[in-house]
Chain A
Amino acid sequence: MITKTIRDQYPVLSRKVNGYRLVYLDSAATALKPQAAIDAERAYYEHYTANVHRSVHTLGEEATGAYEGARDRVRSFLNARERDEIVFTHGATEGLNLVAHGYGGTHLAPGDEIVLTPAEHHSNLVPWQQVAARTGARLRFVELDADGSVGLDAVRAVLSSRTRIVAMFHASNVLGTVNPIAEIAREAHRVGAVMVVDGAQSVPHMPVDVAALDADFLAFSGHKLGGPTGVGVLYGKRELLAETAPLYFGGEMIEQVEREHSTFKEPPERFEGGTPHIAGAIGLGAALSFLSEVGMERIYDHDRELAALAYNRLSQVDGVDIYGPDHARTSLIAFNLKGVHPHDVAQVLDARGIAVRAGHHCCQPLMNWLDVGSTVRASFYLYNEPDDIDALVEGLEHTVRFFHGS
């Protein structure tokens, strides 16, 4: 389990909410920020503000060094082969759009198939709908198992020689399941398809090794692991990034510009048109360093232990329905309280300083599959402790009393 010294690194945890200590159980939406990431971002604004790549002066050299240093950190964090395989984006959404439009949009033809699951976050569904409509490709959905898991046989059942792209979440933001991406990638490659991984919920919570997974593309957001908002990463294999068209055209990404046409830089600069989120990338790099110091294996174990504890405790609360499998889940748990709408649950918990999420979690097709409009979701990270789950359980018992009387 995680020690108090780690909690001390997160300044927000020292505040009170409605007179109670903050119990932050919404890290799957955005994670709290460690002091190291806040300091790194601020240092860029206080000490070496400059644009990257073009400024010859001292500040420019320092800024470029820090920005490219952050790229190196991401490379080693993901175990990518080359630093040029790391593209800074606005977040997972932009990363997935870049693959969908920049790669899918230039490689898909009528009759080609894109394989997804019904449990994708809208960010890994809507871009593919758009690209399918433009290219004439078709979406195919893997049938979920009864408990919401994605089974390998179900994946095999929809793969065919027409499959060009398999785009799938690594860890679910609702069910807490982890997809066997290495095996799914092997199946995808067997039929000649490209494996695109939505790593938004996995990269913050478990060791993710793109080489071991043999993922072709993997996108994640910085803010879900303690970095700033507005910055994220797309990893892509060098040869595939080379075939990917940029989303944005303009400064920084060009090589030579003439009146009528232009040539573009190699990846990753080709995809980072305009002045990038320099401070954000630096903050993201610092957040990754912080996580590495704690140890991703340790964080993985910690988050899973809390999720398992939450599962056991919530199962014993009258009227709680838990969604997803009863076995190993990652860092979160989605549930409903009978007779109380998730919004009302979240509101009553907030009055006790407990922050949870209520809604469809950007997964409307999954909500339809579960046959609910919305759920409550509690999500955990390295700064959470068993006390937080005690507070959640007490809060839920209070919620039941509030709406149904004792």
Chain B
Amino acid sequence: MDLDELYREVILDHNQNPRRRGRLADPSASQGLFNPTCGDRITVDLQVRDEKVTDAAFDGHGCSISTASASMLMDSIVGRPVAEARQTARGFIDFITGKSEEPPPGDWNSLAGVRRFASRVKCATLAHNALLQALSEVEAGRTHPNDAS
């Protein structure tokens, strides 16, 4: 097994210097998720205005794969329409779980190594699942922050 294939430079960099880590002061939606296999937790906060993600942040603790994946996700959705953010999250989950061969647009191919490690798929997709739930919350017009951290 080639470790460098799993831990690409981009991932190590995002893990060392995570972007948009922390909490938003007054999020439109907030979703906490727990990874029961390893005990990791993540919280995704979103600010949504006029069908656009105007701000996003993640917090919690996780491995390098989940941290890098969350960091990349937050970076990629800010300033984007809600529909596009959802597409990114769904597209990535499909790519990592092997349902599709094409990663969504962006840097996501750097996480392709995870596809070979079933035990790490949950780590890579934790933030994406939290984001999808947070977006549903926004859509449903509910704003009950659910903080799992």
Interface residues of A (CB under 8 A from B): 18, 340-344, 347-348, 350-351, 358-360, 364, 367, 373-374, 402-403
Contacts and interface: CB of A to CB of B under 8 A. Distances in A.
A351 B2 CA distance: 7
Given A347-B3, A351-B3, A374-B39, 13 more contacts: A341-B62, A343-B38, A343-B63, A343-B120, A343-B123, A347-B120, A350-B1, A358-B38, A359-B39, A373-B39, A402-B3, A403-B12, A403-B64
Contacts of B7: 344, 402
B117 to A, nearest CB: 8
Contact of B38 (A18, A340, A359, A403): A359
A360 B40 CA distance: 9
Contacts, number: 48
Tell me whether chain B's interface is mostly helix, strand or loop, or mixed: mixed
B6 interface: yes
A49 B103 CA distance: 51
B45 to A, nearest CB: 20
A350 B1 CA distance: 9
Contacts of A403: 12, 15, 64
Contacts of B40: 373-374
A351 B65 CA distance: 16
B61 A373 contact: yes
Nearest to A340: B64
A373 B61 CA distance: 8
Nearest to B64: A344
A67 B6 CA distance: 47
Q: Size band of the B side of the interface?
A: 20 to 34
A364 B63 contact: no
Nearest to A375: B39
Given A343-B63, A344-B64, A351 B1 contact: yes
Contacts of A358: 38
Nearest to A19: B1
A344 B6 CA distance: 10
B1 A360 contact: no
A344 B63 contact: yes
A367 B41 CA distance: 13
A347 B37 contact: no
Q: Top 7 nearest A-B pairs by Cβ distance?
A: A341-B63, A343-B63, A360-B39, A373-B39, A374-B39, A351-B3, A359-B38
A3 B104 CA distance: 54
Nearest to A361: B39
Contacts of B117: 347
A373 B41 contact: yes
Interface string B34-55: 0001111100000000000000
- Scoring B12, B15, B39, B40 by chain A CB atoms within 10 A of each residue's CB, the highest score goes to B39
A343 to B, nearest CB: 4
Given A18-B1, A343-B120, A351-B3, A359 B61 contact: no
Contacts of A18: 1
A359 B38 CA distance: 4
A340 B63 CA distance: 8
Given A347-B120, A403-B64, A342 B3 contact: no
A341 B117 CA distance: 16
A30 B61 CA distance: 28
Contacts of A374: 38-40
Contacts of B38: 342-343, 358-360, 373-374
Nearest to A341: B63
Contact of B39 (A344, A348, A350, A364): A364
- Scoring A343, A350, A360, A402 by chain B CB atoms within 10 A of each residue's CB, the highest score goes to A343
- Scoring A347, A351, A358, A403 by chain B CB atoms within 10 A of each residue's CB, the highest score goes to A347
Nearest to B41: A373
A336 B48 CA distance: 38
- Scoring A341, A358, A402 by chain B CB atoms within 10 A of each residue's CB, the highest score goes to A341
A403 B64 CA distance: 9
Contact of A343 (B1, B3, B12, B65): B65
Contacts of A340: 64
A345 to B, nearest CB: 9
